[in-house]
Chains A and B, each alone.
Chain A
């Protein structure tokens, strides 16, 4: 399965989805004009990946800030992960800057909504 890579723009995150390694990474800001269209390849990749996933799947998300339609999209994204967690062991790391309280709160709210998913809130350590 082909790796999906989307470079970051001023209003969309960098995305990399590697089926061989079972690693999904989304990092940056998210406020596309048409959120559903923008994330369509991500959702399609996920659906294909879960036909034959790796034993372990790691999802690293580091979203600095996002608009409400991205919030909805991430909800649906986690929903797909939740539906497929019997096929692969999924670990989600929601990464945020220590100072970024809103990002931390957003992670906590997703944790509350997806109690069955293993979602770690991870404070980013400065190098």
Chain B
């Protein structure tokens, strides 16, 4: 598991970071970066399972930042930019993302993350299916389905909220695959 304290040193060791991006997230950028990852894992000769898990976790985290930034831009409250990177540590792959969220959203996300961390794989699967079944109209935000999608593919999830004052927080999440 990668801790946030290690990130700086990780970023300096370019041999294990495949991809890093900071800024505004758009769909074409996400698709482009996914393409880069596909090439990367092809060369690493990873199993299809691990490869697809990396792609899906990457896409979920990146689209989450993108969707959140759209919402933020509409409200014009704060900086909508985000950060994402994909790397490898001790033979395990990880994807981390960071963006700024409101206090209200922190309060929504944090209990979900806590629940996921305490859940068994079976419980995550059940929760995933229950949420997918419910709320036929809630396509846009997925009602937490994205986090469960990540949890299904993850070996470990670490997260942190860092207070930025004025009811804003850095939302940092690292997923090991």
User: Footprint of B on A, CB under 8 Å?
Assistant: 9-11, 31-36, 64-69, 71-73, 75-76, 79, 97, 99-103, 109, 112-113
Most buried by B among A31, A32, A66: A31
- Chain B residues whose CB sits within 8 angstroms of the CB of A99 once the complex forms: 47-49
- Name the residue on B nearest A65 (C-beta): B52
* CB within 8 Å: A-B pair count: 78
Query: Do B56 and A36 have beta carbons less than 8 Å apart?
Result: no
Specify the chain B residue showing the minimal Cβ separation from A31.
Answer: B59
A72:B34 contact, CB within 8 angstroms:
no
B149 touches A75 (CB 8 A): no
Establish whether residues B132 and A10, one from each chain, have CB atoms under 8 Å apart when the complex forms: no
Between A and B, 30 residue pairs with Cβ closer than 8 Å are A10-B31, A10-B32, A10-B34, A10-B35, A11-B27, A11-B30, A11-B31, A33-B63, A33-B66, A34-B140, A36-B139, A36-B140, A64-B52, A65-B55, A65-B56, A67-B60, A68-B148, A69-B142, A71-B145, A72-B139, A72-B145, A73-B139, A79-B136, A99-B47, A99-B49, A100-B52, A101-B48, A101-B49, A113-B132, A113-B133
Complex CA distance for A103 and B47, rounded to whole angstroms: 13
B interface residue numbers (CB < 8 A to A) = 27, 30-32, 34-35, 47-49, 52-53, 55-56, 59-60, 63, 66, 125, 129, 132-133, 136, 138-140, 142, 145-146, 148-149, 153
Q: Which A residues are in CB contact (< 8 Å) with B145?
A: 68-69, 71-72
Residues of A within 8 A of B138 (CB): 72
Measured between beta carbons, the chain A residues less than 8 angstroms from B149 are 67-68, 71
Which residue of chain B lies nearest to A39 when distances are taken between CB atoms in the complex? B139
> Are A75 and B59 closer than 8 Å at their CB atoms?
no
CB distance from A62 to the nearest CB of B (A): 13
Other-chain residue from B49, B52, B60 in contact with A68 (beta carbon distance below 8 A): B60
Q: A31-B34, A31-B59, A103-B52 are in contact. List 11 more A-B contacts (CB 8 A).
A: A10-B31, A10-B34, A36-B140, A66-B56, A68-B142, A69-B139, A71-B145, A75-B133, A76-B136, A97-B48, A99-B49
The chain A residue with its CB closest to the CB of B26 is: A33
User: Which residue of chain B is the closest to A102 with respect to CB atoms?
Assistant: B52
**Closest approach, in angstroms, between the C-beta of B152 and any C-beta of chain A?**
8
Contacts of B66 in A (CB 8 A): 33
Q: What is the CA–CA distance of A87 and B142 in the complex, to the nearest angstrom?
A: 31
